[in-house]
Amino acid sequence: MAAEGGHGPQTSSEYITHHLQNLQVCKTETGEWIWNQCAGNPMAINVDSMFWSISLGMLFCFLFWRVARKSSVSKPTKFQALVEILVEFVDGSVKDTFHGRSRLIAPLGLTIFVWVFLMNFMDLVPVDWIPELAKLLGVPYMKVVPSTDVNVTFGMSMAVFVLILYYTHKFKGPLGLVKDLTMHPIAPPTKGLGLIAAPIIIAFNLILETVALLAKPVSLSLRLFGNMFAGELIFILIALMGLYQLPLHFGWAAFHLLIVTLQAFIFMMLTIVYLSLASESH
Amino acid sequence: MDFNLTFWGQTIAMIVFVWFCMKFIWPPIVGALEERQKQIEAGLAAADLGQEKLLEAQAKAEGIVDDARKQATGILDQAHARANEIVADGKADGVKERERQLTAAKAEIEQEANRAREELRGQVSAIAIASAEKILRREIDDRAHEDILGKLAQEL
């Protein structure tokens, strides 16, 4: 495991690279599992991303489950009140946007919001604390913010993308998706001379709408990834400045706290919007 | 930056967490919220009802107090009337009694007077006889005039 561990990064560039390196394990062509020499290997797992992502997801599930289990009608605890504020906030957002009936969307929104918020929030832990601790324990790399891993954000937007397709199918029937892709935004003419132009219009629509459809998960994940990655990078750069980092670090953390919350909200809100678009006819 | 198995791991993790949330977290919390909404609604309705009932009861109580006051006034009036009546009755009785006693006294006085007159008459006749006796004794024999004197005494 300690293939590259043991000695600290020397130059700034090494320091940054070290901080942006995931702890990986992968299966080589010979069939054995090796640590941290996995560049370009599609069979690699970012162990740190998975660890923190799943831990935070479980933390969310545990905390909220405990509240849900003991949830009291007449005597809510303070934490229950907090959870209820979040639930009502998400429920309100869903009801404002999504007009169909679905048991899935509101819990999906809540999970995304809280989970993404927790993952983003790891960005506010001082950048060296956990990696240095890990190094003491013999772990050479430790990237603690899962949402700075493009695999993580794409993994989530992939699930959302599948749900978009599923909701289109569910609310508009099997032909709904084809119609969505070909009949908008320009309605092809159905009679007269315009029929000649119809195939061209349909082809144009298809290209445009396919790009638009694919852009949804890509933009969803890249927005989160980009924001978090940039924020993390700035924290690392600030950490390189020696003593001057303290006020700067504080300022950026205060600002980043807004980004962390906002990005979690945007991810949730866009998921709801995409799913309501998929379930409503234009 | 490379895509690898983490992508699928994250997708699976997300499905599991969303399923868990949908199954075990969302329904109880929303259930509690809705239950609380119902309770608050019911509580407010009950408060309104209570307010109404209170006003009703206050009106009723006022009515009862009014009635009682009227009744009390009535009773008081009756009592005054009765008292006056009793006083008047007493006065009438007194007058009657006085008259009765007065007549009784008068009768008694009359009787006394009659008796006294009778006595007086007896005494006067005795005196008259005595004086007549004295006169006659000097002039006439008692025996010769005894029958006349006896008649005279009887006539008196």
Chain A contact present for B26, CB below 8 A: yes
Question: Is A168:A180 a contact under the CB 8 Å cutoff?
Answer: yes
The whole-model pTM stands at 0.76
Flag whether pLDDT at A237 surpasses 50.
Answer: yes
DSSP letters spanning A231-249: HHHHHHHHHTTGGGHHHHH
Q: Give the tokens for residue A202.
A: 């349909």
Which has the minimum average pLDDT: A65-74, A118-127, A138-147, B129-138? Answer: B129-138
**Which residues of chain B does A26 touch, with a Cβ-Cβ cutoff of 8 Å?**
4
Query: DSSP 3-state assignment of A73?
Result: coil
Confidence of residue A6 (pLDDT cuts 50, 70, 90): very low
Chain B contact present for A103, CB below 8 A: yes
Flag whether pLDDT at A89 surpasses 70.
Answer: yes
> Is the Cβ pair A50, B8 closer than 8 Å?
no
- Where is A33: in which H helix or E strand? strand A33-35
Q: How many CB atoms lie within 10 A of CB A48?
A: 24
A31: left (phi over 0), alpha (psi -120 to 50) or beta: left
> What ipTM goes with this model?
0.88
B128-155: per-residue pLDDT in tens? 888 888 887 777 666 666 777 778 778 7
Give the start-to-end residue ranges of the domains of chain B: 5-155
Query: DSSP 3-state assignment of A190?
Result: coil
> Is the Cβ pair B36, A73 closer than 8 Å?
yes
Residues 31-70 of B with CB under 8 A from A: 31-33, 35-36, 39
B17-26: per-residue pLDDT in tens? 999 999 999 9
Chain A contact present for B25, CB below 8 A: yes
Task: Give the per-residue pLDDT at A159.
Answer: 94
Angle value at C-alpha A88, between A86 and A94, nearest 5 degrees: 105
In B, minimum Cα distance to A90 occurs at B26
Q: What's the CA gap between A90 and A113, in Å, rounded?
A: 8
Give the start-to-end residue ranges of the domains of chain A: 49-279
Flag whether pLDDT at A163 surpasses 90.
Answer: yes
**Interface mutation target, options B1, B3, B5, chain A, most CBs of A under 10 Å:** B5
How many Cβ pairs closer than 8 A exist between chain A and B? 135
